[in-house]
Structures are given as C-alpha cells and as structure tokens.
Structure 1
Amino acid sequence: MATMKDIARVAGVSTSTVSHVINKSRYVSEEISERVNKAANELNYAPSALARSLKMNRTKTIGMLVTTSTNPFFGEVVKGVERSCYQKGYNLILCNTEGDNERMQASISTLLQKRVDGVILMCSTLEGKRIDIFERYPDIPVVVMDWGPMLFTSDKIQDNSLRGGYMAAQYLIESGHKEIGCITGPLIRHQAQMRYEGYKRALNEAGIDINPNWIVEADFECDGGYEAFNAMNAKGTLPSAIFACNDMMAMGAINAANESGVNIPQDVSIIGYDDIHISKFMTPSLTTIHQPKYRLGKAAVDTLLQKLEEKSSEAIVVQLEPTLVVRKSVKVLS
C-alpha cells in the first residue's frame, strides 16, 4: 500500500508538502499540487482513515444503541440519525440491545473502545439503569432519547409527552366524547407515564370522571393493544372513545375491535400517538399525535456535534413539541 513517503519520492517533493496537498491544510502551488495528485493516482494511494483519526483525535464515527421493537417509530428515528450523520460527514455504528442491560453495557464498552466520537442512546426499556462506564470516558458526549430521569451525565432529546397526551384527550373531548378510556404504555417508563398524566389532566379540567374499567396498561406493542381492548371489552360497556398511547397499540386495538364486531369509529373512536408512516394507510386511517421523528434524530446528532465543538459540560435538554393529525378513526358526536 502506497504511503505519503512514496508519493513524495515520485513527485520530488517533501512528505509535508504531500500532506498539505492531500489534506488541503495549506496553500500549495497549482504546479506542485498537480504533480502530487498525479503521483498519488499512479500509486493508487488511499488515505488512511485510522491514521487521520489518530492525528485528529476524531474518528468521525457516532455509536447508537436502540432497543429491539416491532414499532416502526424506532426505525424512523434511526433514519433521521443516519441521514444527519451522512450530511455531517460522520459514520454511524448501530447496536441493538434487545432490552438487555448486560448487552447494552457490552455494546457501550465496545463502542468506546472503538473510539467513537459520541454515543446516542434510545433504549427506553432500560431507563433508570446506571451506566458507570461513561464516567471513565468523560470527554465522550452522550445524548439520550425517549428516556426518563437519568442517572448519568448526558444531553437529552425528548418530545413533550405530557402535552401530547393532553392534546389527544382534549381532541376527543372537543369531538363530543365524555366516555374516554386509555390504553397506556408500561407506566414504569417515563414517556408512558407522561402521556397518561396528560390524558388525566384533560379529563379533570373538563370535569369528566375517569372510569378505572376503561384504563388498561399495556406494552407499546400491537399485541398489547389487542389484549388491552379485549380486557376492556370483557369488563362491560365500552367507552365511546379510547386514547391508545402509541400507534402500535391503536392498531392492535382496532384489530381486536373488528374481531369483536365493534366498528371504528362508528361504535368506538380511537386516537393514537407517534404518527408512524403506516398509520395513514390503516382502515380507518388513524387520527394520532405526530411526534417529529426525523427531527428527533437530527436534533440528537446536532446536539452531539455541538458538544464536541464546544467541549461544554453543561447538560442540554431539547424538547420537541407534538402536533395533532386528524384522520378518520375519531367520530365527531353531534
């Protein structure tokens, strides 16, 4: 493999001059630059990314850890991260934790040993876990997404789940509904708790009683929504509307309703949360709360790179606001 010394010998210049031409770090005359580039082409020279990373103390690589899920939400966020990395000239190493704390710790250790410039965590099933290894790498910035209170120093990107849950229930109330149930996510998780709190706040402000038979905790997956609807249905009369705290559970609930002969939205209205891409292609198309997934991913990368440039130790919290997307799954009562 050709080196800069080989190029210098063929071009008849110093190694430092070759370095300045290759790295464009200093002005070199057009005639000499042409000789150097010609020699590099003849020798099939390829710059060493490893050597450059050691010299610059940057690998231009970001590591990201994601929890396994059938929910396309995660893939849509990763797409935003990956595109932003590409636009900024960074590579992305993606690791799957499968909801396992030991696997997450091992993946983080591997990423840090590979000298990634920063780490993005989107492993909400593991929120509340202490990650001591970051304390040994204080110069590597960490950004977390979709996570509750943190037990380690990091920046945070989140959607305003309290506001989103409030908006979902408020829309059902404005549509004339007074019997409103909720299929929550796992309430040990911060985002699930916040969406449920927003739902309760909207009902309390409207003076609407919360029927405990219409509150079912599920798991943010389709199966959970399916089972939650059936559990609610088995308790007796269904509410006129249900807030499913993500689109996957809303899809499962709609499937269970169809099997039970319950028409959506004629008999029961359903609103979801996330606005995943397939939600508009369901039957009926899903009214939902839009979470800006691409912007979440972009904000994570931008925040990480900002930390790298500024070398600031102050934690940054970026909160993106949800919006309502009205489609066909909610009936407006007269």
Structure 2
Amino acid sequence: MATIKDVAKLAGVSTSTVSHVLNRTRFVSESRRKLVEDAVRELNYRPSSIARSLKIQRTKTFGMLVTASRNPFFAEVVHGVERRCYEQGYTLFLSNTEGDVKRMETSLDALEEKRVDGLLLLCAEVNDDIIRLLEAERSVPIVVFDWGPESDNVDRIYDNSSHGGYLATKYLIDNGHTDIGCIYGPIERRSSRERVDGYHKAMEEAGLPVRSEWMIAGDYDCEGGVQAMVQYAAMDKRPTAVFATNDMMALGVLSEAGRQGIRIPDDLSVIGYDDIYLVRYAAPPLTTVKQPKTELAAKAVDTLIEHLDSKRTKGKMIIVQPQLMERESVKKLG
C-alpha cells in the first residue's frame, strides 16, 4: 500500500507539500499540485483517516440521531443534512432511536466513542429523560432540531412557527374566511404551541372569535386529521376553513373529507404546515406553510462547524423564517 512518502518521491516534492495539497491547508503552485495529484492517482494512494484525525484533532464525521416517524418531514431534513455534510467534506453517521430513551443513550455513547466531531438530534418527542441526556456533560457540540431544552449546552435550530401559524391563518382570513377551525398537534411540542399562538394572533387581530369546538387536538399524523374531520363532519355548524398545524394531519383531513362527501375547497378550505414533498400531489394540491428544510439542514451542519472552529462553550438559538406556499386547497369567498 502506497504511503505519503511514496507520493512525495514520485512527485519530486516534500511530504509536507503533499500534505498541503491533500488537506488544502496552504497555497501550492498549480504545477506542483498537478504533480502531486498525478502521483496520487498513479499510486492509488488513500490517506489514513485515523492518522489525519489524530493530526488535525478532527475526524470529519458527524453523528445524527433521529426518532422513528412516518412524517416525510424527517426524511427530507436528513437528506438535507447528508447533502450539506458532503458539501462541507464531512461523513454522516445516522442512527434511528425509535423513540426509545435507552436506545438514544446507547447511540449517543456509541457515536462519541467513534469520536464524531458533533451531534445532530432530530426528535419527534421531548420528555425529562431526553432532556437529561442532552444536558449531561458531553465532549462534542450538539445541535437540536425543532425543539430543545432551555439549556446553554446545546444549539437549537427551528423555524419561526408562531409566524408560520399567523401566515396560515391570515391567508384564510384574507381569502374571506371568518369561520376558521384549527387542528393542532401534541401541545407539549414547541412547534404545536407556537403555531396555535400564531392562529390566535391572526384571529384576534381580525376581530374574529375562536370557537372552542373547532379547536381539535391531533397527533401530528394522518390519523389525527382523519379523526378531526370526522368530528367536523358531525357538527351542525362547521368552519368554512381549517388550519392543520402540520401537513400529515392536513392530508388526513383531505382523505376523510372525500369519504364524507365534503368537497375541498368548495365545501371546506384546508391549509397545512411543513410543505412535505407529497402535498403538491394531493387532490387538490395542498396550500401550506413551508418549513425551509434545506436551510434548516444547512444551518445545522454549518453551526456545528462554526462551533468547532470558534471553540465557543455556550449554545445558541437559530430561527429560520417560514414561507406561504399557495396551491389549490383554499377557496376565495366573496
């Protein structure tokens, strides 16, 4: 197996020049760079990742923990993280915790033993045990998506859900709707609470009443939207429009509305949240609020790298802005 000395000998340069070319740590003239690159190809040289990590004190790897979820939002964020890691020259180790706290703890320990440079956590739930794991003394920086403990030990990144909820509800109001319901996710989730807050803000700003029977708790899954639509269909007076605080529940509403003979958007307008890939192919295509998943993913990876480079010890909060995506599931009244 070829060594860096073999490459240097064949290229007629020093081993330090070879190192600078491979690691891009110092300017090397184009002619010398070409000699090194040609030698690397001819000898099929592969640098030792272990030796390199010992020298630069980084492994150029990140670990990512994801809880099991049927929501495509998670897969789309993971895809964005993988892409950004590749662009930044990092390898990503992915672990699915399936919502099990013990498995999360085991995965965290295993990733740290592999000497990953940082950790990303994308979790569908939050409880005291998970918060304890995050607040424990850890040797690498951590970025948490969507939710996170009010802790100085981790970086947190998520979209401005309160503004997103406001955008969704105001869009319905601007289209002439005054009877507006809301299907919200688990209230212990930050995103759910904030999206409902945005709904209330828009309704209050417009001087519109919020009817308690039109506020229905869901589960952030399609079934939650199905069950909410069953309740709406049985009401003597139902809203003309509904804001579902995520797309999965909105898809459940569309599905059950079809079974109930309720036409979307003629009989009921629906707006969702997240802009998962599937909703543009719903019948009708779903109007929704887009979480900038690509931006979320890129900022998460970049934040880990910035944390490593700056060697800061305090975590920070990063918020990205949502965007309304107008399609065909909302009817304009009047």
TM-score by length of 1: 0.89
Kept in 1: contact 2:225–2:252 (CA 8 A): yes
Query: Equivalent residue of 1:271, what SS?
Result: strand
Kept in 1: contact 2:218–2:224 (CA 8 A): yes
Deviation of 1:176 (Å): 1.3
178-187 vs 18-27, greater mean Cα deviation = 18-27
Cα distance in 2 for residues equivalent to 1:35 and 1:102: 52
Kept in 1: contact 2:20–2:27 (CA 8 A): no
Question: Structure 1 residue 311 and structure 2 residue 311: aligned?
Answer: yes
Kept in 1: contact 2:125–2:189 (CA 8 A): yes
Report what 1:56 is aligned to: 56
How many equivalent pairs are there?
330
Query: Equivalent residue of 2:313, what SS?
Result: coil
Report what 2:222 is aligned to: 222
Question: Structure 1 residue 137 and structure 2 residue 138: aligned?
Answer: yes
For residues 178 and 115 of structure 1, do their structure 2 counterparts lie closer, same or farther at Cα, with a shift above 3 Å needed? same
Question: Structure 1 residue 18 and structure 2 residue 19: aligned?
Answer: no
Kept in 2: contact 1:132–1:152 (CA 8 A): no
Query: Equivalent residue of 1:273, what SS?
Result: strand
Alignment of 1:80-159 (within 5 A): 80-126=80-126, 128=128, 129-132=130-133, 135-138=136-139, 140-151=140-151, 153-159=153-159
For residues 41 and 282 of structure 1, do their structure 2 counterparts lie closer, same or farther at Cα, with a shift above 3 Å needed? closer
Kept in 2: contact 1:280–1:286 (CA 8 A): yes
Q: Deviations over 1:124-155 (max 9, x none)?
A: 313553244764434x1111110143456111
Cα distance in 2 for residues equivalent to 1:35 and 1:84: 30
Kept in 1: contact 2:7–2:36 (CA 8 A): yes
Cα distance in 2 for residues equivalent to 1:315 and 1:33: 40
Question: Structure 1 residue 321 and structure 2 residue 318: aligned?
Answer: no
What is the one-letter code of the residue matched to 1:257?
A: A
Query: Equivalent residue of 2:157, what SS?
Result: strand
Runs of 4+ in 1 over 3 A off after TM superposition: 1-8, 10-14, 22-45, 131-136, 148-152
What is the one-letter code of the residue matched to 1:76?
A: E
Deviation of 1:257 (Å): 0.5
Cα distance in 1 for residues equivalent to 2:53 and 2:166: 47
For residues 316 and 330 of structure 1, do their structure 2 counterparts lie closer, same or farther at Cα, with a shift above 3 Å needed? same
Deviation of 1:226 (Å): 1.1
Alignment of 1:1-334 (within 5 A): 1-4=1-4, 17-24=14-21, 44-126=44-126, 128=128, 129-132=130-133, 135-138=136-139, 140-151=140-151, 153-334=153-334
Q: Deviations over 1:264-292 (max 9, x none)?
A: 11111100001112211111111111111
Kept in 1: contact 2:180–2:214 (CA 8 A): yes
Q: Deviations over 1:298-330 (max 9, x none)?
A: 010111111111111232221111111111111
Cα distance in 1 for residues equivalent to 2:57 and 2:78: 26
For residues 225 and 5 of structure 1, do their structure 2 counterparts lie closer, same or farther at Cα, with a shift above 3 Å needed? same
Cα distance in 2 for residues equivalent to 1:197 and 1:154: 25
Query: Equivalent residue of 2:177, what SS?
Result: coil
Query: Equivalent residue of 1:313, what SS?
Result: coil
Query: Equivalent residue of 1:196, what SS?
Result: helix
For residues 293 and 19 of structure 1, do their structure 2 counterparts lie closer, same or farther at Cα, with a shift above 3 Å needed? same
38-47 vs 268-277, greater mean Cα deviation = 38-47
Q: Deviations over 1:248-277 (max 9, x none)?
A: 110111100000011111111100001112
Deviation of 1:76 (Å): 1.4
Kept in 2: contact 1:81–1:297 (CA 8 A): yes
Deviation of 1:77 (Å): 1.3
Q: Deviations over 1:197-239 (max 9, x none)?
A: 1111211222222222111111111122112211332344321
Deviation of 1:108 (Å): 1.0
Query: Equivalent residue of 1:298, what SS?
Result: helix
List gaps (5 residues or longer) in structure 1. Answer: none
Deviation of 1:185 (Å): 0.7
Kept in 2: contact 1:80–1:293 (CA 8 A): yes
For residues 41 and 22 of structure 1, do their structure 2 counterparts lie closer, same or farther at Cα, with a shift above 3 Å needed? farther
Deviation of 1:19 (Å): 4.8
Deviation of 1:46 (Å): 2.1
Deviation of 1:36 (Å): 7.7
Cα distance in 1 for residues equivalent to 2:179 and 2:69: 31
What is the one-letter code of the residue matched to 1:117?
A: D
TM-score by length of 2: 0.89
- Percent same amino acid at aligned positions? 47
Cα distance in 1 for residues equivalent to 2:321 and 2:29: 52
